[in-house]
Structure formats: structure tokens, C-alpha cells
Amino acid sequence: MASVTYIEHSGAQHQVDVPTGDSVMQGATRNGIEGIVAECGGGLACATCHCFVEEAWIARVGPPSETESQMLEFSASETKPGSRLSCQIIVDDSLNGLVVRLPETQF
């Protein structure tokens, strides 16, 4: 299990324990975090779980796959360094303390 902090665009912060093997998206949706819509349920078929990984965590989380990068082009918010689809970040012990920021909109 890893502790993940979600920071909404408004600045509201939510620290959630996410089970190992779950995605950052699942952690958000199961805990009612505003800002992660996850229309496709984690199927890498939309960009409504876009998040920004805090700079200190980018290397540890790793880069997006080619498919994920292509999907990020369709996100409603501008992408920037650290942009990821939260459905593609799988939690393990090395991500304990991860911080992600959520964009203003997913649509």
C-alpha cells in the first residue's frame, strides 16, 4: 500500500492509501476525489484521468508509453512535464508519498 496525495486544481488536498497493484486513477475514483473522471474506467481510451506528477516523482513514476503519450494529446488541459494518465500509474511501495496535481478540467 502507498500513500498518494491528490491536489485538486482548487488546492484542496486528499491523502489516500492506495493498495499495491491499483492505479492512481482507482485510488481517486474509489475515494471520491474530484478532478479524476475516468470515463473509460482505465482502458487507456480517453484522457479524463489526466494528472500532473510532481517534479520530484517524475523519474520514479517513469515516462508515459507511446500510446499514453498519444492519448494525452486529447486531454482537455494543456500537457506539461509530468503529465500522465493516472490509469497508467500502477502503485507499488516505491510510490509511497507520491503527489499528483489535477487539472482544472477533464473535458
CA-CA distance, 52 to 60, in Å (whole number)? Answer: 14
**Structure-block grid coordinates of residue 44:** 487507456
Q: pLDDT of 54-107, one tens digit each?
A: 999 999 999 999 999 999 999 999 999 999 999 999 999 999 999 999 999 999
In a domain? residue 23: yes
pLDDT at site 78: 95
2-11 mean pLDDT? 97
In a domain? residue 52: yes
Domain count, the chain: 1
Nearest Cα residue to 27 out of 52, 50, 4: 4
pLDDT at site 82: 97
HSE-up of 73 (CA within 13 Å, CB side)? 6
Contact residues for 94 (Cβ-Cβ < 8 A; gap 6+): 2, 60
In a domain? residue 73: yes
pLDDT at site 48: 98
**Domain that residue 97 falls in:** 2-101
48-59 mean pLDDT? 98
In a domain? residue 107: no
**pTM, full prediction:** 0.96
Residue 69's domain is classified under what CATH number? Answer: 3.10.20.30
In a domain? residue 106: no
Residue 88 DSSP code: G
SS3 106: coil
In a domain? residue 27: yes
In a domain? residue 19: yes
- pLDDT range class, residue 17, cuts 50, 70, 90: very high
